[in-house]
Amino acid sequence: MRRIFSGRRQVSEATTKAAGSLLHYNFVVNQAFAKLIIAGSAVAIGLWSVDIVRSSAMHSRVGVLGCVIAIVELLALFSGRVRLDVQGFGALFLGLAIWFVAAGWELRGRGRDLGPSR
């Protein structure tokens, strides 16, 4: 913390502690929102995937992939093995993005099969 204020001469110890507390608060809030977005997205993908497998709206492999990704992501998140820094968050979000691309690719050809909407 001292390195941040090293160029200034009139920085008190109270200012340094206040800045440290503020940065720690920011870190805690950031971690909470990162866990919320990963957990919420994994649950949503899991529920969509269960519906895909049940309804046969798409190939079941997209649904199975989504179920596997959702379970792995929730286990990784709640086991505490993955720290949600840039690399950890990126790795977990990459799993979600893989499912989005797979589902989008599957939906790409479905528009022609549906016919005109009236």
Q: Quick one: pLDDT at residue 118?
A: 44
Q: Which residues of 60-83 are buried (b: 16+ CB within 10 A; e: fewer)?
A: eebbebbbebbeebbebbeeeebe
User: Which has more pLDDT, 47 or 10?
Assistant: 47
Minimal CA–CA distance to 46: which of 5, 106, 54? 54
What residue ranges do the domains of the chain occupy? 34-105
Q: What is the pLDDT of residues 32-76, one digit of tens each?
A: 999 999 999 999 999 999 999 998 778 889 999 999 999 999 999
For residue 33, give every residue at least 6 positions away whose Cβ sits within 8 Å of its Cβ, in sequence order, or none: none
Q: Quick one: pLDDT at residue 10?
A: 72
Q: What is the pLDDT of residues 70-98, one digit of tens each?
A: 999 999 999 988 888 899 999 999 999 99
